[in-house]
Amino acid sequence: MKCVIVGCLAFFCLIANAISAETAEITQSDSVTPLLQNASGRNATSLNGQWTYIIDPYENGYYNHRYEPHANGYFKNAKMSSPSELLEYNFETADKISVPGDWNTQKDHLYLYEGTVWYNKDFTFSKRSDQRYFLYFGAVNYKAIVYVNGEKVGEHEGGFTSFNFDVTAFLKSGDNFVTVKVDNRRERDQVPTVNTDWWNYGGITRSVSIVSVPQAYLADYQIQLSPNNNQTIEGKVVVAGALTQSSEVTVTIAELGVKETIKLNNQGNATFAINARPRLWSPESPVLYDVEFSYNGEIIRDRIGFRSIKTNGENIELNGKSIFLKGISIHEESPLTSGRAWSEEDARTLLQWAKELGCNFVRLAHYPHNEHMLRMADEMGLLVWSEIPVYWTVLFNNNAVYKKAEQQLAEMIHRDINRASIVMWSMANETPSSDARLTFITNLINHARELDNTRLITAAMDTHSTTKNGILIDDPLANAVDVIGINSYCGWYVSEASKCSDLRWESKYQKPIIMSELGAGALQGLHGDSNERWTEEFQESVYIHNLAMVDNISALRGLSPWILKDFRSPRRPLNNIQDFWNRKGLVSEKGIKKKAWYVLRDYYKTK
Ligand code: GCU
């Protein structure tokens, strides 16, 4: 099988059939430990299950009474050594909590809690000298300080992205413990900032594991269909860790008869391009191939779909064919317990509901969802809009805030770069127009394109001009994206349902438009006249008239109405109607469909 020289990978292409197995020394800085690609496809020890926890609203386990960091804080997990010893905390006798999972819906006294909770997990481990060990977190909301055996291994900020620490030097054979200081307080200079329309679920909200890799290991890889032709599979590999003699990575796709040896350069990385004719992935035919990467004794298994996505004028083209995105927006809430969703079962239920609605597309709002959602979307054939929580009024003129947003963007793209289902990265949601905001988000767009030039860029916008017969899409941010997302609540926040169908939308830009939000609230089971707010009939009427409205938007190529399921929000207190639930779901928090569900389902049947 021959490698082809592919211009877009100009930097260095590799001749697939290794001419010589020269034993190039591989130098690789091992001070920087990048996020492990595909941790779940590696040799891992799960730390999921029961942890003990201590609530610490005054951060007493971290600071002394002079507000100086403790040398012997709760992270030491101390045990009393004599009956007279003064010890004012004890993880052994503390209450238990499940990891993964938010604390708000596990413990009634933590339902509205915002602050620090200490988590501790005792475990035994058998350590091998020929392995490196990474402590991997799917996500912790919002700030985490992580300790192993009483020693700090690192910190992470950001509630919805994966991170890991090299803990090889901290682990030992026999008894170990991991302690995590989790703080979900909202702060003005965070991403998101203090005002969001979703519950601030705190905790170790996704899975935790210890991943073992060889001393020199395949840290990262990217593999996809060449954007230039669908008979070339291309990508890159990055090796990290100690020096090694092994300078070759093997990629195997048995079903395609591919077994490729990739020679690494002296920095431990390489790009590759392989002639192959994969069946293309699509919602109608979500073909995934078993791909194996092997290096230095480690075999990493992944399931990869090959497809192309691009825009062509006002069209979105999947595998060269224009497509209409029949979507729905989804928050990461467990479909029936309504806490943070984290499991494969949660993902399957939420995405099966979307499929039942007739969707080929989901907007995973407003932050990167757990990896099960993306892998399930790959398997089920759902195109995905994935988003970072640059939401509403983050501090656009603050460079430290920009760096936080950029870090979360990089972590989102890094984890999910190989998911066929993701076709667009969303930079923001409903951000007020200003020069600072335009600069901030344009910089994010440029960074996203550097990290991944194979997907589309979008953002959901809600500021437009009104014209004599409707609305003009003229947000300058629309000029910077590939696909324009529009949030509009005609009949709910503005105007009245019967007037929406006559609303005319125009755009200054010749680009595809996705109506990324529309909708209305309804309490499931409340019935009345269609002009009576909160009834299912009111919501049904808003959908009927909005769907007539969107059919008049000539550049419309998709929609993702707000939202699949009612979800918890501290902004929705109306008692006996909302009770801290946002009621715009087409399905109640008990999984019961409302009348508007059938309106959207029947509409998608016509598409
Ligand atoms: C906004 C926002 C959502 C919010 C919704 C609503 O458009 O993007 O996060 O939940 O409107 O008001 O219900």
pLDDT in tens, 509-561: 999 999 999 999 999 999 999 999 999 999 999 999 999 999 999 999 999 99
- Determine the residue of 426, 582, 583, 586 to mutate for testing ligand 1's pocket, defined as the one with the most ligand atoms within 8 A of the Cβ atom: 582
CA dihedral defined by 563, 568, 571, 572, rounded to 10 degrees? Answer: 80
Q: Is residue 25 part of a domain?
A: no
Tell which atom from ligand 1 comes closest to the C-alpha of 365: 9
Q: Give the Cα separation of 133 and 209 in Å (integer).
A: 10
Per-residue pLDDT tens digits for 278-330: 999 999 999 999 999 999 999 999 999 999 999 999 999 999 999 999 999 99
Half-sphere exposure of 414 (CA within 13 A, CB side): 20
Q: Whose CA is nearest to atom 7 of ligand 1?
A: 487
Per-residue pLDDT tens digits for 138-172: 999 999 999 999 999 999 999 999 999 999 999 99
Average pLDDT over every residue of 487-513? 96
The backbone torsions φ and ψ at residue 54, rounded to the nearest 5 degrees and listed phi first, read -130, 125
Determine how many CB atoms are found less than 10 A away from the CB of residue 600: 24
**pLDDT for the residue 16:** 36
- Alpha-carbon torsion 461, 465, 471, 472, what sign? negative
Question: How far is ligand 1, taken at its centre, from the CA of residue 564, in Å?
Answer: 13
Question: How far is ligand 1, taken at its centre, from the CA of residue 562, in Å?
Answer: 7
Task: Give the rounded distance of the alpha carbon of 587 from its chain centre.
Answer: 23
pTM for this structure? 0.94
Per-residue pLDDT tens digits for 65-85: 999 999 999 999 999 999 999
Question: How far is ligand 1, taken at its centre, from the CA of residue 211, in Å?
Answer: 38
Please, are residues 32 and 238 in contact by the beta-carbon 8 Å criterion?
A: no
Residue 30 has pLDDT above 70, yes or no: no
Work out the percent of the chain whose per-residue pLDDT is above 90: 91
**Summary mean pLDDT of the chain:** 93
**pLDDT for the residue 15:** 35
Does an H or E element contain 99, and which?
strand 95-99
Residue with tokens 């075999």: 299
Residues shown for the chain: 607
Half-sphere exposure of 470 (CA within 13 A, CB side): 17
Q: Whose CA is nearest to atom 10 of ligand 1?
A: 197
Question: How far is ligand 1, taken at its centre, from the CA of residue 233, in Å?
Answer: 39
User: 322 and 452 share a domain?
Assistant: yes
Strands 232-241 and 269-275: antiparallel
Tell which atom from ligand 1 comes closest to the C-alpha of 462: 7
What residues does 119 pair with on adjacent strands? 53, 180
Question: How far is ligand 1, taken at its centre, from the CA of residue 446, in Å?
Answer: 26
User: 96 and 210 share a domain?
Assistant: yes
Among residues 474, 526, 516, 470, which one has the least CA distance to residue 495?
470
Residue 103 has pLDDT above 50, yes or no: yes
User: 292 and 170 share a domain?
Assistant: no
Q: Please, which pLDDT band fits residue 12 given cuts at 50, 70 and 90?
A: very low
Q: Give the Cα separation of 353 and 365 in Å (integer).
A: 16
> Could you say which of 158, 191, 214 is where a domain stops?
214
> Could you say which of 214, 239, 257 is where a domain stops?
214
Tell which atom from ligand 1 comes closest to the C-alpha of 487: 7
Q: Write the DSSP assignment of 474-507 as a string of letters.
A: --GGGGTSSEEEEE--BTTTBS-HHHHTT-EEEE
Containing structural domain, residue 249: 2-11+216-306
Ligand 1: residues whose CB is within 6 Å?
197, 366, 429-430, 487, 517, 562, 582, 584
Q: Is residue 548 part of a domain?
A: no
Average pLDDT over every residue of 196-210? 98
User: 252 and 371 share a domain?
Assistant: no
Residue type, 582: N
User: 190 and 235 share a domain?
Assistant: no
Grouping H, G, I as helix, E, B as strand and the rest as coil, residue 107 is coil
**pLDDT for the residue 326:** 98
Residue 20 has pLDDT above 70, yes or no: no
Tell which atom from ligand 1 comes closest to the C-alpha of 584: 13
Residue with tokens 């793209």: 413
Among residues 302, 300, 296, which one has the least CA distance to residue 241?
296
Q: Is residue 341 part of a domain?
A: yes
Q: Give the Cα separation of 87 and 3 in Å (integer).
A: 65
Question: How far is ligand 1, taken at its centre, from the CA of residue 584, in Å?
Answer: 9
User: 330 and 412 share a domain?
Assistant: yes
Question: How far is ligand 1, taken at its centre, from the CA of residue 41, in Å?
Answer: 35
Q: Whose CA is nearest to atom 4 of ligand 1?
A: 197
Q: Is residue 16 part of a domain?
A: no
Question: How far is ligand 1, taken at its centre, from the CA of residue 196, in Å?
Answer: 9
CATH of the domain at 137: 2.60.120.260
Written as six digits, the tokens of 423 are: 């076709």
Tell which atom from ligand 1 comes closest to the C-alpha of 493: 12
CATH of the domain at 376: 3.20.20.80
Written as six digits, the tokens of 63 are: 């600071």
Q: Give the Cα separation of 225 and 253 in Å (integer).
A: 13
**pLDDT for the residue 338:** 79
Question: How far is ligand 1, taken at its centre, from the CA of residue 502, in Å?
Answer: 23
Per-residue pLDDT tens digits for 332-363: 999 988 799 999 999 999 999 999 999 999 99
Grouping H, G, I as helix, E, B as strand and the rest as coil, residue 342 is coil
Written as six digits, the tokens of 464 are: 């437009």
User: 155 and 229 share a domain?
Assistant: no
Question: How far is ligand 1, taken at its centre, from the CA of residue 393, in Å?
Answer: 13
Question: How far is ligand 1, taken at its centre, from the CA of residue 197, in Å?
Answer: 6
Q: Write the DSSP assignment of 287-305 as a string of letters.
A: --EEEEEEETTEEEEEEE-
What residues does 291 pair with on adjacent strands? 302
**pLDDT for the residue 34:** 78
Grouping H, G, I as helix, E, B as strand and the rest as coil, residue 255 is helix
Q: Is residue 20 part of a domain?
A: no
- Determine the residue of 517, 560, 578 to mutate for testing ligand 1's pocket, defined as the one with the most ligand atoms within 8 A of the Cβ atom: 517
Any residues with CB less than 8 A from the CB of 244 and at least 6 apart, and which? 26, 215, 216, 296
Task: Please give the sequence-ordered ranges of beta strands (E in DSSP) within 126-268, or none if there are none.
Answer: 131-137, 143-148, 151-157, 163-166, 174-183, 208-214, 216-225, 232-241, 248-253, 258-263
Q: Is residue 237 part of a domain?
A: yes
Grouping H, G, I as helix, E, B as strand and the rest as coil, residue 356 is helix
Residue type, 268: G
> Could you say which of 277, 306, 335 is where a domain stops?
306
Q: Whose CA is nearest to atom 12 of ligand 1?
A: 197
Q: Is residue 377 part of a domain?
A: yes
Half-sphere exposure of 218 (CA within 13 A, CB side): 30
**Bigger pLDDT: 15 vs 441:** 441
Per-residue pLDDT tens digits for 356-376: 999 999 999 999 999 999 999
**pLDDT for the residue 245:** 59
DSSP 579: S
Q: Give the Cα separation of 588 and 593 in Å (integer).
A: 6
Q: Please, which pLDDT band fits residue 8 given cuts at 50, 70 and 90?
A: very low
Question: How far is ligand 1, taken at its centre, from the CA of residue 49, in Å?
Answer: 34
User: 277 and 411 share a domain?
Assistant: no
- Determine the residue of 193, 196, 197, 514 to mutate for testing ligand 1's pocket, defined as the one with the most ligand atoms within 8 A of the Cβ atom: 197
Q: Whose CA is nearest to atom 3 of ligand 1?
A: 197
Residue 64 has pLDDT above 70, yes or no: yes
CATH of the domain at 226: 2.60.40.10
Question: How far is ligand 1, taken at its centre, from the CA of residue 390, in Å?
Answer: 13
Q: Give the Cα separation of 45 and 312 in Å (integer).
A: 46
Q: Give the Cα separation of 429 and 461 in Å (integer).
A: 6
Among residues 482, 513, 453, which one has the least CA distance to residue 311?
482
**pLDDT for the residue 468:** 86
Question: How far is ligand 1, taken at its centre, from the CA of residue 25, in Å?
Answer: 54
Q: Please, which pLDDT band fits residue 27 given cuts at 50, 70 and 90?
A: very low
Grouping H, G, I as helix, E, B as strand and the rest as coil, residue 593 is strand
Please, are residues 448 and 481 in contact by the beta-carbon 8 Å criterion?
A: no
**pLDDT for the residue 243:** 57
**pLDDT for the residue 17:** 36
Domain count, the chain: 3
Q: Give the Cα separation of 363 and 517 in Å (integer).
A: 9
Q: Give the Cα separation of 571 and 494 in Å (integer).
A: 19
Tell which atom from ligand 1 comes closest to the C-alpha of 196: 9
Task: Give the rounded distance of the alpha carbon of 236 from its chain centre.
Answer: 22
User: 197 and 253 share a domain?
Assistant: no
**pLDDT for the residue 138:** 98
Residue 6 has pLDDT above 60, yes or no: no
Residue with tokens 């109608």: 284
Q: Is residue 531 part of a domain?
A: no
**pLDDT for the residue 400:** 97
Q: Give the Cα separation of 222 and 306 in Å (integer).
A: 12
- Determine the residue of 562, 564, 571, 581 to mutate for testing ligand 1's pocket, defined as the one with the most ligand atoms within 8 A of the Cβ atom: 562
Q: Which of 1-10, 29-38, 466-475 is predicted with the least confidence, judged by mean pLDDT?
A: 1-10
User: 402 and 343 share a domain?
Assistant: yes
What residues does 154 pair with on adjacent strands? 146
Written as six digits, the tokens of 190 are: 């965070």
Tell which atom from ligand 1 comes closest to the C-alpha of 567: 10
- The angle formed by the CA atoms of residues 224, 229 and 230, to the nearest 5 degrees, is 60
Helix and strand totals (H; E) in the chain: 7, 33
Residue with tokens 């006002």: 314
User: 196 and 225 share a domain?
Assistant: no
User: 154 and 138 share a domain?
Assistant: yes
Tell which atom from ligand 1 comes closest to the C-alpha of 519: 13
